[in-house]
Amino acid sequence: MKNFMKNYYNFIKEGIFNKNKNASIKIGDYVIPVNFDGLTDKQEKFLKSSDSFLVNDITTKETTNFIDIGYSIPLKMSRFEPVNSPYDNKVLFLQFNFKLKTHGEEDVDNYFRGYESSSDLFPELIHEKSPKTRVDFCRYSEVYKLKDGYYVNNTKITDYNFIFFGFMAKYTNLATLLTNYVVRNNIPHMKYETYDYLHNKAYQFDLLDNLGYPYIPSVMTTKLTRNLLDNIEEFGYPLIVKDVYLDRGEGVFKINNLVELKEFFNSNERLMLIQKFIPNDGEWRVITIKNKVQLIARKDSIEDVNKLNIDDRKSKKGNLPHEVISMCEDISKHLFSDIVGFDIIQDLTDKKYYVIETNASPDFVMFSIVTNVSIPEKIVDYIIKNMK
């Protein structure tokens, strides 16, 4: 980060080193490197990437003590001096380290600072707006429970001022325990993605149907029956068939007639949505954060419905009627994720708007760039405003 070396020298100038230079370093202490001799370029780059480091563990080999500060290997304790904590607040991101893909769009507003990973971007954004806030990126696998509560890297979860729950579907059991725990302890938090059993189109179909919002006319089944075929006849052909457990354009098929439909289900054993084909000239991507629409992008129409990866299609800033915006905001209140992506289409025949699907972990990089709305900054603003 750009200001870390400046902060390092400020620490020395302001005398925040512990007075006792020989004080032993303990787990949970903050340390700062004072000796870079003999380090590799990679090691030195890591030690200059932060203004201080939290000691996660201590090991001894022969007569030498080593400390774990998040690098791939422990480093000699003698390279470090303990410092008083420079932080007033702590923010924890769990399982939120992912590649920042621009899909060919140039980041002219420098929203993503040239970084390739979210774990590089978000600490810098938070540090710029709240310099005395420490940001930890950890995995669910690093969380453990003791008698007095949950910990990560020897820090008690309740010591954090804000917790961001990242991709939860693969870690549903632990994520359920942790989200319940932070609610009981009144820790401000935000959720990206959702539990595994809610992370599918079947849940979305059922929810929107019960809420009474316009969802594409659909039936859901693993096999064809006479009664189901009678209902499908009202849709006409072509039909769209979607695997309820896949997203981002995967598992989507166009069916042109009854023969193709029967052939498809003869070899299918998965739960599928069969939907009416809605003629349209493109789609809209809407992103809500904490039940407020933050971004609307207009996406090009496609010729081949079997290649429906929306993130690879050209997009630009878009607009939608107030009633559609209100619909997305209300639906988001009934979803578990705090950051939701909606795909919306308009029927060219009757001009009615439909929700194609919702996404509990929407890709926001390319859409931020083309709409001039920085979703990372919106997330950071919310975190800083709501820290305990």
- The mean pLDDT value for 339-360 works out to 94
DSSP β-bridge partners for residue 32: 81
What are the structure tokens assigned to 377, written together? Answer: 């900054």
Q: What is the pLDDT confidence band of residue 12, given thresholds at 50, 70 and 90?
A: very low
Nearest to 337 by CA among 169, 120, 123, 140: 169
Is residue 22 predicted with pLDDT exceeding 70? no
Where residue 15 falls among pLDDT bands split at 50, 70, 90?
very low
3-state secondary structure 253-285: EEECCHHHHHHHHHCCCCCEEEEECCCCCCEEE
Altogether, the residues listed in the chain come to a count of 388
Beta bridge partners of 353: 346
d(CA 145, CA 298) in angstroms, rounded, equals 45
Position 13 pLDDT exceeds 60 = no
Which 3 state secondary structure label does DSSP give 94? strand
- Model confidence over 117-169: pLDDT tens digits? 999 999 999 999 999 999 999 999 999 999 999 999 778 999 999 999 999 99
Q: Rounded distance, CA 19 to CA 384, Å? A: 32
Calculate mean pLDDT across residues 184-200: 94
The full set of domains in the chain, from first to last, is: 1-86 (no CATH), 87-196 (3.40.50), 200-359 (3.30.470.20)
Q: Dig out the tokens for 142 from the structure.
A: 């690093």
pLDDT band of residue 84 (cuts 50, 70, 90) is confident
Model-wide pTM > 0.85: no
Element (H, E) at 88: none
Q: Token pair for residue 137?
A: 């990126």
- β-bridge mates for residue 156, sequence order: 151
Q: Half-sphere exposure (CA, 13 Å, Cβ side) for 2?
A: 9
Q: Provide the pLDDT for residue 7.
A: 53
Condensed to tens digits (0 to 9), the pLDDT of residues 35-81 reads 999 999 999 988 988 878 889 889 999 999 999 998 989 999 999 99
Mean of pLDDT over the chain: 89
Report yes or no: 171 and 95 within 8 Å, Cβ to Cβ.
yes
167 neighbors 196 (Cβ within 8 angstroms) = no
Note the pLDDT tens digit of each residue in 254-272: 999 999 999 999 988 899 9
